[in-house]
A and B are shown apart, each in its own frame.
Chain A
Amino acid sequence: MEKNVAVRMQHITKAFGTKVVANKDVTLEIEKGEILALLGENGSGKTTLMNMLSGIYHPDKGEIFVGGKEVHIESPKDAYNLGIGMIHQHFKLVDVFTATENVALGMNKTEAKNRNAIAKGIAEICDRYGFDVDPDKKVYNMSVSQKQTLEIVKTLYRGANILILDEPTAVLTPQETDKLFKVLRNMKKDGKSIIIITHKLHEVLAISDRVSILRKGEYIGTVETKDATVQSLTEMMVGQKVELDIERPEVENKEKRIAVSHLTCLNKYGVKSLDDVSFDAYGGEILGIAGISGSGQKALLEAIAGLQAAEAGSSVRYFAPGSEEESELIGKTVTQIKQMGVALSFVPEDRLGMGLVGTMGMTDNMMLKSYKKGVVFADRKTPRALASRVKDELEVVTPSLQTPVRKLSGGNVQKVLVGREIAAEPTVLMAAYAVRGLDINTSYTIYRLLNEQKKKGVAVIYVGEDLDVLLALCDRIAVLCAGKLNGIVDARETTKEEVGMLMTNLREE
């Protein structure tokens, strides 16, 4: 039977440097009018493969055929000319430009019309597929989901017939995801080919026609979605049987560790990033924090850690384990909090930009917590011992303790960071997006480490984006919406839909 192939990638190999082979002899096909899910763990080379289609990278070996003809895609411009458009995970938008200006970028002379005509074209696309875009809004005023919509509209405006979406749902609520999927189905009906990169299995099953699987840069196979199950896909993705259930141990005698009340913070433009948030966190429990990205999660953790100033009336009280003593953390610096004897560990979202020093090795990164102990010269012996302990216990793969940590893979970077924070024997452990970008095995290692801390009586605060994980791992979930606490639910009782509603719809008071 004659197949209607839109793109064929054949024997594609791509390496970075001499050590990292991102793709090894991958062959992939996408047909016209279908949705293909490209499934693989983090670091399996999905994005790299697609970047070769969109002209960001160029394959070391292999051929690409579009509409049956061999093509050399040297730049994103070539990709555009071939009708290929990619929506990247980090949006490719200029913040200080309006929506229209962003769409107008890179057009050639014949395409470029005046801005009114472009705005009209945007409106047409919006009508056709059910988008909503304000053409005069500046990007820096847009929400994440609005930015994503703009990206898709931009790509369609440029005449893309083959759309690649890189983890499009990572930043969306369940409701927004449904809306996106509706649009994608409309586009499919219109004859467009869509490749969606993801590692969320239930989404693969919900939206795609076929699934192609990559593992460690290699092509594993393609299956029809209707024949696939979560378990079968996981095995293809990971290469072994995986226990997908996350453990949730029960801990008796929870004691109050942190009491947040009326916490209000401003961002650098003077807008409230947190608005009157109050809750308690207990030792021996994992408190999940849910919310669409940018709902105040960052400010919340940083305010508790002493990194973010809070407005008058805010309070964060700390209750030392096994004693009646309580102390106020607001208004204290990181150093002061430490001197008060509060063992607070924090795994921030931005691992290399905040938790670690990318240009330094493991030893020097361990020093970050202890370097102040020396008189004039910093002590390097203890950190070195700690570094080698973390390396052994968490199986960190690194050439040496001196190798700059930014050269390590995402999973190893996270192990270094979490290992250091846990080694400090905390009474409070805060972790933001602790498994983002990690493969399944490392993710489960992290869940295990968090549960161990919980069993030791540590108060764990876990900011997450994957609702399935939050529901399975946490004891309670506090939901933030636009800087406000929109409710705290029991993770054992609640549903994804309920949490999703709390994330988007601010309750009336």
Chain B
Amino acid sequence: MTGFISLFQAAVVFGTVIMFGAVGEIITEKSGNLNLGVPGIMYLGGIASLAGAFFYENSTDSPNSFVCVIIALLCAFLASALGGLIYSFLTITLRANQNVTGLTLTIFGSGVANFFGGSLNKLAGGVGQISVAATSTAFRSGVPLISKIEGPVGQLFFNYGWLTYIAIIVAIIAQWYLTRTRTGLNLRAVGENPATADAAGINVTAYKYLATCIGAGISGLGGMFYVMDYTKGTWANDGTIENLGWLAVALVIFTTWRPKNAIWGAYLFGILYWAFFYISGLTRSSQEIFKMLPYVVTIIVLIFISLRKKRENQPPEALGLSYFREDR
């Protein structure tokens, strides 16, 4: 039981990172933009929050935890949205290929983040030295009242940093937005058939830009959560963010483009990610084989979706294509 509890707890932490990434990417893809820059965007979000918090904490003797949180959130969101903006400008305005632009964004984002991550470490006095304890503590604090719940139920569900619950709320809002609102309907139309949306008087370019930038901003919060919660406000360039970023891209398919499915899907991916740790009798090498699980499961889901061909489960029809009104 304790084994399962700690597995589940680890899964929820990584799951939250993936959930932010996937929900952001769903919104982006609903506008017809397949952004393979998610890992890069999550890197940008992570490093920006860390840098913002670092400079704030260094500038004052007694950092206010509320200010810490606001600064980190803002930095993460804005830096990631900026990544989304670069992608949007290239693919929407300049009509560059989406796959290639996304991959470049991933290269760029990991370069920027690890470069500045390394520099920040140096500024703070050496490898692994940077630490934003106050901000990290503020993020890791639980939700009042429910975090006091004890016993297995409390340990399983109520003992996480408050951002964990925000992720779920963001997913629910995204689901509601896409299916129940006027602009959500318009956004889906843009991703399905931009020419139709255009003829209906919808500003296709604006929708694509906004969806991609806001989507990127949300994805970036995943990077921030990883830095603030999992690594406790430090920087290590071991590539985990990139792994989680690709898993977020995979999760989008797993959810069949529905944010509500990202909630349980993300935790499932988290469990698959950590499963090797809790299976007894694995040697160090065979553990590595078990770490393949989330990727293998995604492949299986991918095959399954393509086999079933259900109309409602298909990707947005114009996904990956750029739109130019005067194309003939």
Contacts and interface: CB of A to CB of B under 8 A. Distances in A.
Interface of A: 16, 54, 56-57, 75-77, 79-80, 86, 88, 92-97, 101, 104-107, 109, 112, 140, 154, 268-269
Interface stretch (B16-24, B192-200, B210-218, B244-252): B192-200
**B-side interface size class:** 20 to 34
B326 A105 contact: no
Contacts of B185: 97, 101, 104-105
B61 interface: no
A106 B202 contact: yes
Interface in B222-246: none
A104 B182 contact: yes
Contact of A106 (B197, B309, B312, B328): B197
B325 interface: yes
Given A92-B195, A92-B200, A112-B182, A97 B328 contact: no
B189 interface: yes
Contacts of A154: 200
A274 to B, nearest CB: 20
Between A76, A88, A154, the greatest number of chain B beta carbons within 10 A of the residue's beta carbon is seen for A76
A266 to B, nearest CB: 13
A96 B192 contact: yes
A76 B192 CA distance: 18
Contacts of B201: 75-77, 79-80, 106
Contact of B189 (A54, A105, A109, A269): A105
Contacts of B326: 16, 56-57
Contact of A268 (B182, B309, B328): B309
Given A80-B201, A88-B199, 15 more contacts: A16-B328, A75-B198, A76-B199, A76-B200, A94-B193, A94-B196, A95-B193, A96-B311, A97-B189, A104-B182, A104-B185, A105-B186, A105-B196, A105-B202, A140-B311
B202 A94 contact: no
A76 B198 contact: yes
Between A57, A75, A106, the greatest number of chain B beta carbons within 10 A of the residue's beta carbon is seen for A106
A94 B189 CA distance: 6
18 contacts: A54-B199, A75-B198, A75-B201, A76-B198, A79-B201, A80-B201, A86-B199, A92-B200, A94-B192, A94-B197, A96-B311, A96-B312, A97-B192, A104-B182, A104-B185, A105-B200, A105-B202, A106-B186
A56 B199 contact: yes
Contact of B200 (A16, A96, A106, A140): A106
A430 B255 CA distance: 45
Nearest to A79: B201
A29 B11 CA distance: 68
Nearest to B196: A92
Nearest to A77: B201
A158 to B, nearest CB: 8
A75 B198 CA distance: 8
Contacts of B186: 105-106
Contacts of B202: 77, 105-106
Contacts of A105: 185-186, 189, 196-197, 200, 202
A56 B325 contact: yes
Nearest to B191: A94
Between B201, B311, B328, the greatest number of chain A beta carbons within 10 A of the residue's beta carbon is seen for B201
Contacts of A56: 198-199, 325-326
Nearest to A154: B200
Contacts of B196: 92-94, 105
Contacts of A109: 182
Q: Which 5 A-B pairs have the closest CB atoms?
A: A106-B200, A77-B201, A92-B196, A106-B201, A105-B200
Nearest to B314: A96
Interface string B291-318: 0000000000000000001011000010
Contact of A77 (B182, B203, B311, B325): B203
A92 B193 contact: yes
A43 to B, nearest CB: 12
